Structure formats: structure tokens, C-alpha cells
Structure 1
Amino acid sequence: MSATLSSTKTAAALRRSARVSVELLAVLVMVAVGLWLLGRMWPVVWPLVVGLFLTTMTWPLTAFLRRRGWAPALAATAVTLLFLLVSLGIVALIAVPVASQSGELTDGVVDGIQKLREWASGPPLNIGDDQIAGAFDAAVARIQGSVGSMVGAVVTGVGTVFNGLVTGVLALFLMFFFLKDGPRFLPWLARQLPGRLATDVPIVAERGWETLGAFVRSQALIGLLDAVFIGIGLWALGVPLVLPLAVLTFVSAFVPIVGALFAGLVAVLIALVSNGLTDALIVLAIIVVVQQVEGNVLQPMIQSRGLGLHAAVVLLAVTLGGSLAGVVGSLLAVPVAALVAVVWNYLREQLADPPPVSEPDEPRTGDAVLS
């Protein structure tokens, strides 16, 4: 005996599905409009993003000076000038030599890919050239574009490579004002918002700031340590282009997982072309050891609170960001995903049912008699 469908329940399910579909479509339209507005305002948004990133790195020193009695304006001025001097020194001592060797770095990577292609086509693999030609040609084009873009980003400066000198100047001024007036922003924001938003938005903003600061500072320190240790290993083996490879390792650290693989592949290919297979394998071993020490020792020590993102989410975010906005998207993908996670976790906290209050157990009749 087969059960018949209830027309009332079917109509109710269809109406509910239609309502959910319309609501989801409205959300997607709002997201699309937001992304469109973001693209239109990108010349303003990009200096703001760069200024925030720079502020997260320079705020600890500013906070230290303010705790020692320095006026906010004086502390912000001193830190901004110090940052400017350090940046100019990096440009003079590192960026200029890297710029002069960027072409050699790209050519070496392409030669290394070609050598791997020849090795794969011979024994013992004997892979047909027609099977690997397309993959290696695509890899060559990808490596050339990525290496050129990342080296260019280091040479020109993160704030100027995409929007010119004006972006760098705006980011620097924004950093100064963030350092000077940052602690007063959340109270001011709370006074401007109505109702419950005056409480919710500052809380989310504070959590997002803490997450962003932890990510930028920890990745910068980890990237610096990786660049130093791997650079020392390359120098000891006599691998050429040590400075560009070290700088590439530092920049790649801001793209978790994918960045380390990319920088390691470039270093191994350069060693393979210049020093041969043995040194290339030694470079690979050095990179693996450094990455293991970083993942199992340095990151747990430096990142006291993680981003709360699964490795699969990081990979998907980096892939999506890179496909949408190239190198910029790859650099911003993980911080954006972490900020989205902050907002989502706060919404879950607010929408979750409060835990049930357990009532004290009433004494049993026998216990009352015995007492």
C-alpha cells in the first residue's frame, strides 16, 4: 500500500523553498553590489587596507611609547619616521639589488622547468612529450608571471606597485592617523551607531583588529626567519641569487601554505640549474627542515591564537583570491577569510540559544526524613 502525498504539506514545502530561494537570491545580489562598489572605490580602499596592514606592524612600538608617557601625536610621529627610514633603507640595500637580478631569477626558473621536462621524458619515467608539454608550458607562463609580479611587488613596494606613489603616500598618512587616534575610534564609532549596532559593531571591529594584527605580525616574523635560515643554506651551498630568493621567501610567507611551496619550488629550480641535482636535493632538504621547524615550533610559539581556519579553507581562499585579483588577491585572501570567520562566529554567538539553566535537584522524601 503506497502512501499518497499530502497536497497541503507539499504546497507548504514549496512555499518555504521559494521563500528561502528568494532570500538567498537577495543576499547574493547584496554581495554582488557590495563587491561592485568595492571595485569602484578600490583607489580609496587599497590605501586604507595597506595603511591598516602597516599599522598592525607598527602599533606595538607605538603602544610601548605611549605607556612610557609619550603623547599620542609624538609617539605616532616618531614611529612613522622610523618606519619611513627603515623602508628607505630596505629599498636602498635590498630592493635595488633584487631589481637588477629579477630577470636572472625568472630565466633560472624557466631553465629549471625545462630541465625537469627533459628528465621526465627520459628513463625511468619515459613520459611522452605530448603528455607534459602543455602542463610545463602552462607552468612556465605561470612562474614567469608570478615571479615577475612578486619581485616587482618587493622592488616597488607593496603600497606603490599597484596604484603608484599616491597610494604609498596615502597609506603612510593613514598609518600615522591610525597610530595617533586609533584607540579613540571604537568609542567614536559606538556613539555614531543606533541601537544594538552601537554594541555589536565595535565588538566585531575589535575582534577583527586583533585577528588581523596577529596574522600580519606573526606572518612577518615567520617569513623573516624563513628567509634568513633558507638564505643562509643557499649561501653555504653557493647557490646564486640568494638575496632575491630570500626576499621571495619573505613575501611568500604572507600567502600561507601555497606561498611556502611556491618559494621552495623556485629555490630548488635555481639550485638545479646552477649547481646540479645533488645541491638541488640538499636545498629541498633544507627547505623541508625549515618548514617543519616553522610549522611545529615557531608557529605555535608565535601565533598564540590561530586564525581559526582549516587548511582546506586557507587553500580555497588563496585560490579564489588569486583567480579574482592576482597577487593582491592571494595576499589578502587569508586575512579576509579570517575576518569573515570573526563576523560569522559573532553572529553564531548572538543567534545561539542560551544554555539551559539547570534547576537544583529537589531533596527526596526519604532524604528529608533522614536529615
Structure 2
Amino acid sequence: MTGQSAPNGRTGRDRGDLIGQGGLWLAKWSLILVSVSAGAWVVGWLIAALWVVVLPVLLAIIVATVLWPPTRSIMRVGLPPAASAATALVVFSLIVVGVVTLIVPSVVDSTPELVDKASDGVSQVQNWLKGPPVNLQDEQIDTAVSTILERLQDSGAAIASGVFSGVSTAGSILITLTLMLVLTFFLLKDGPKFVPWLHGMTGSRVGRHFAEVLGRMWVTLGGFIRTQAVVSFIDAFFIGLGLVLLGVPLALALATITFIGGFIPIVGAFVAGALAVLVALVANGLTTALIVLAIVVVVQQLEGDVLQPVMQSRSMNLHPAIVLLAVTGGASVFGIVGAFLAVPAAAVAAVLIRYLSEQIDLHSSEPGQAGPDQAGPDQAGPDQAGPDQDAANS
């Protein structure tokens, strides 16, 4: 018998049976977690081993999400897909080459002076911390300051080597960029053929789910990249304008770093703002440094409280803690490229998790958490379309 009479007259199951059932449940889920972790480790190992191939693919996907709207517009004019993709890609390449030609040489030339001024700024902060009212001892801050100075002095080489970490094992940066451009062209040209091929390979039922998830990922990724580009440009423009009006040297280099740092949320903004304040402190004094700090804080608050909520749906945002962990993990594994790719990867993963949660809610007897705006695979709205779905609708 599994039931017995308790002293209070109630009938319940034996404690040993309940403990055994709980142990079996815990063992089952522990095995599942171990299996999932092992699978994730294998996937991570494969990505690291094939990073030279994976990196151009990821960069091509990001560029394709940015270029798909103009490519689609060119197709609607009447050009064939190949000509439309080539036109968008050539214009994009010319813009990038022009910007790099105009800005990068001056930024590179300013890097040694920027590092020296930032180091001097850190030294001034160190001297203030030693005096009243803080009165910190030398041993309390020397280690931290020396670490900061070493990182500043090595930042140029770290950036140059970290952006294309691992590429040298297979060739050169030029080969990687060329492969990225070729892959982007094929993604733009042949993207509409992917969903029909996927339906043929997986069947209509599974294919519907794949198409819905990939469509949402495409929309999320493209919206994130385009929004970050606009927001980063606005941040760099206003902070750079403030630096110019205040007469802070290296304003162009600092504005460029601010723009690039905008693609690495939280961490990038903090580093760029700190550099601007340190340079202003050394070159123009404490008053100017405080004004620069106020400008950086106001611009970043405007970004976080006004620009992003207006330009980007809140459903595409991630909690700051998730962003910080993603950036830290990506940077520790794949360097600067990992920090740049971490947030898009986390946003795409969040799309998958939300979709799985919706499907669980649809088949669960418990009340679901999905809102009325969250549709299943048969209820996708017109704004949930990627390049394949856009072409099919047109």
C-alpha cells in the first residue's frame, strides 16, 4: 500500500516514497542539465576551433541585416536580385572605405598622445586620492593604477590584434574581409530561397517553426544593429561637439572611440566617457573635466531614457545585467570581436527563448505569460518578416 493513516487521521503517502520520487526527479533533471551543458561545450569548442570560418559568417549576417532594406528597395525598382545585392554592397563598401580613409589615419596618429594624456589623468586622480579628504595609502591604489596604466599603454596593440583574433592562422585580415563581402552578397541575393529549401528539408510543420524563429531573429538583429548605429552616431556627435566647443584636444579621436564603443553597451560607453574626462582633466583642468563629465552623463541618459525606447521596441531590449555578462563573457573568450558580437548573440538567444516559452504556454494547462502581440507560427504579423518572408510577400 502506498497510503497509510497519519496520527492526525489524514491519509498520505509514505515519506520514503516521496523522498525517492524527489530524488528521481532531481536525478533526471541533473542528467538533462549535464547533457545540455556538454552539448553547449561541444558547440563552443567547435566555434572556437572554426573561428576563422565562423567570424566571416557572423559578420556577413550582421552586414546583410543592415543592407537588406536598401537591397529590397532596389529589387522593387526592377533590378534582379544579383544586381540589387551588388549595388547595395558596393555603395556600403564605398561609404566604409571613405569613412576609414578620412578618420582612421588621424585617430591612429592621435593614439600615442591619447594614451599619454589618459595615463597622466590617471596619475592626477591617484595624487588626489592620496590627499585629503580621502587619504588613501600608496599600497591601496598603486596596484590598481599600475594595472590601468599598463592597459592604456597596451590598448593600441590589443585592439589591433584582438579585432581579428585567430585570423592570422588561416591567412590575413584581407581574406577575412573578402570572404565576409562574398558571403554578404550571397545572403542578400539568395536569402529568399532559404525558407522554401528549409521547408523541403524539414517538412511543413517543423519548417513553420524554423521560419518564424529565423524571421524574428532577423528582425531583431537588424533592428538592433541599425538602432545602435544611429544611437552611437548621436552620442559621438554631441559628445564630440561638446569637446570641440570646450577646446579639448583629440576631439575627433574621442568621438570616434565613442561611436565604436556604442556597439559594446555599458562597457563601451563607460570606457569612452572615462577617456574623454581624463583627457579634458590633463589638457584643460578640473573645471573642463567636470563639464565634460556632465555632457557625457546627460548624453548617455538621453540615449538610455529617450532614444532607445523610442527607436527600438522594449521587447528587443535586454536587462543590463544580461548585457554586462554577455559582453564580459564574449570579451574574455573572443576578445574585442567577442564583446561586439555578444549583445547581438544574446538578443538572438532571447528571441529563441521567448518563442519556446510561447509554444510551451500554448500547449500547457497552466495560464501562459504570452501577450496578445506574441503570435505563433501561423499568426506572424507583417513586421516579423525577414528577407525570405519579405520576398515571398512581394
**Structure 1 length as normaliser, TM-score?**
0.88
1:283 aligns with 2:284: no
Deviation at 1:5, TM superposition (A): 7.0
- Residue aligned with 2:316, SS: coil
Deviation at 1:48, TM superposition (A): 0.6
1:101 aligns with 2:113: no
Residue of structure 2 aligned with 1:84, choices 90, 93, 96: 93
Residue 361 of structure 1 corresponds to which residue in structure 2?
A: none
Letter in 1 for 2:128: W
Letter in 2 for 1:277: L
Residue of structure 2 aligned with 1:254, choices 259, 263, 267: 263
1:307 aligns with 2:316: yes
- Residue aligned with 1:245, SS: helix
1:227-279 Cα deviation digits (max 9, x unpaired): 11111111111111111111100111011122111110010001111111111
Checking the alignment, whether the CA contact within 8 Å between 2:57 and 2:180 is kept in structure 1 is yes
User: 1:331 & 1:161 partners in 2: Cα distance?
Assistant: 20
The 1:169/1:325 distance shift into structure 2, 3 A limit, reads same
Deviation at 1:170, TM superposition (A): 0.6
User: 1:336 & 1:147 partners in 2: Cα distance?
Assistant: 26
Counterpart mapping for 1:45-56 below 5 A: 45-56=54-65
- Gapped runs of 5+ residues in structure 1? 357-371
Letter in 2 for 1:188: W
Residue 19 of structure 1 corresponds to which residue in structure 2?
A: 28
Deviates more, 1:176-185 or 1:113-122: 176-185
1:298-322 Cα deviation digits (max 9, x unpaired): 2222214542421221122222222
1:58 aligns with 2:67: yes
Counterpart mapping for 1:129-208 below 5 A: 129-146=138-155, 149-150=158-159, 152=160, 164-194=173-203, 196-208=205-217
Residue of structure 2 aligned with 1:348, choices 337, 342, 357: 357
User: 1:24 & 1:326 partners in 2: Cα distance?
Assistant: 28
Residue 365 of structure 1 corresponds to which residue in structure 2?
A: none
Deviation at 1:184, TM superposition (A): 2.2
User: 1:74 & 1:295 partners in 2: Cα distance?
Assistant: 39
Residue of structure 2 aligned with 1:326, choices 307, 327, 335: 335
User: 1:80 & 1:298 partners in 2: Cα distance?
Assistant: 28
Checking the alignment, whether the CA contact within 8 Å between 2:254 and 2:272 is kept in structure 1 is yes
User: 1:353 & 1:185 partners in 2: Cα distance?
Assistant: 27
Checking the alignment, whether the CA contact within 8 Å between 1:146 and 1:327 is kept in structure 2 is no
The higher-RCO structure (CA 8 Å, 6+ apart) is: 2
Checking the alignment, whether the CA contact within 8 Å between 2:52 and 2:166 is kept in structure 1 is no
Checking the alignment, whether the CA contact within 8 Å between 2:117 and 2:279 is kept in structure 1 is yes
Residue of structure 2 aligned with 1:73, choices 75, 79, 82: 82
User: 1:276 & 1:57 partners in 2: Cα distance?
Assistant: 42
Residue 368 of structure 2 corresponds to which residue in structure 1?
A: none
Checking the alignment, whether the CA contact within 8 Å between 2:52 and 2:167 is kept in structure 1 is no
Deviates more, 1:3-12 or 1:330-339: 3-12
C-alpha RMSD over aligned residues? 2.7
How many positions carry a matched residue from both structures?
355
Residue of structure 2 aligned with 1:126, choices 108, 132, 135: 135
User: 1:63 & 1:159 partners in 2: Cα distance?
Assistant: 34
Residue 223 of structure 2 corresponds to which residue in structure 1?
A: 214
Counterpart mapping for 1:4-43 below 5 A: 6-43=15-52
Deviation at 1:145, TM superposition (A): 4.3
Deviates more, 1:60-69 or 1:340-349: 60-69
1:339 aligns with 2:345: no
1:59-106 Cα deviation digits (max 9, x unpaired): 221122122222211111111111121122112111111111112212
Checking the alignment, whether the CA contact within 8 Å between 2:165 and 2:335 is kept in structure 1 is no
Checking the alignment, whether the CA contact within 8 Å between 2:235 and 2:299 is kept in structure 1 is yes
Residue 298 of structure 1 corresponds to which residue in structure 2?
A: 307
1:263 aligns with 2:263: no
- Gapped runs of 5+ residues in structure 2? 1-6, 366-394
User: 1:43 & 1:82 partners in 2: Cα distance?
Assistant: 26
**Structure 2 length as normaliser, TM-score?**
0.83
% identical aligned pairs: 44
